[in-house]
Amino acid sequence: MYEKENLKPEEIKPYYLETERKENMKAIKSSYEYLSVGQKELEADLHETACLHGDIEMAAKEKVVDDFRTAKARVLISTDIFSRGMDIIQVNLIINFDLPIVKGIPRVETYIHRVGRSGRFDRSGVRVDLVSDPNDLNAL
């Protein structure tokens, strides 16, 4: 069991954005237009993107990870497959499309692994949680 204070390491700054679930993708795109991370404005339309999920063949997954690691792809859209075992030093922003809450039960360990992809290697990071249910905000 993880204590709530362990979810917010000092090097990862938390932000929350309340949205209607159907508006989450629009909110992510809008967030890129307004967030400044590492002295750069992020605009999804200006960056190469990659997608990583369980249905992708292993060779394709390796290429996606390599492209992201080498900054050929600046934005990675991923399922929880990226939340464990990926140590990529330049990850400084995590946006959670939804929180890992299944049938009303928060998956704290999954959440920690998700947000833990940023703020690694003595670097700072930012996490943004898109929250459509006010109860979700207090669940984790």
The domain total for the chain is: 1
Q: How far is CA 33 from CA 4, 42, 45, 75, 82, in A?
A: 30, 6, 9, 13, 24
Residue 2 included in any domain = no
| Structural domain contains residue 1 | no
Could you list the residue range(s) of the whole structural domain that residue 37 is in? 10-133
More confident position, 45 or 103:
103
- The model's pLDDT over 85-137, given as tens digits with 9 standing for 90+, comes to 777 777 777 777 778 888 888 888 888 877 877 776 677 778 888 887 777 77
Return mean pLDDT, the chain.
70
Can you give the CATH number for the domain in which 87 is found?
3.40.50.300
In a domain, 47, yes or no: yes
Does a structural domain hold residue 104?
yes
pLDDT at 53 over 80: no
Q: Report d(CA 126, CA 25) in Å as an integer.
A: 18
pLDDT-derived band at 59, boundaries 50, 70, 90 = very high
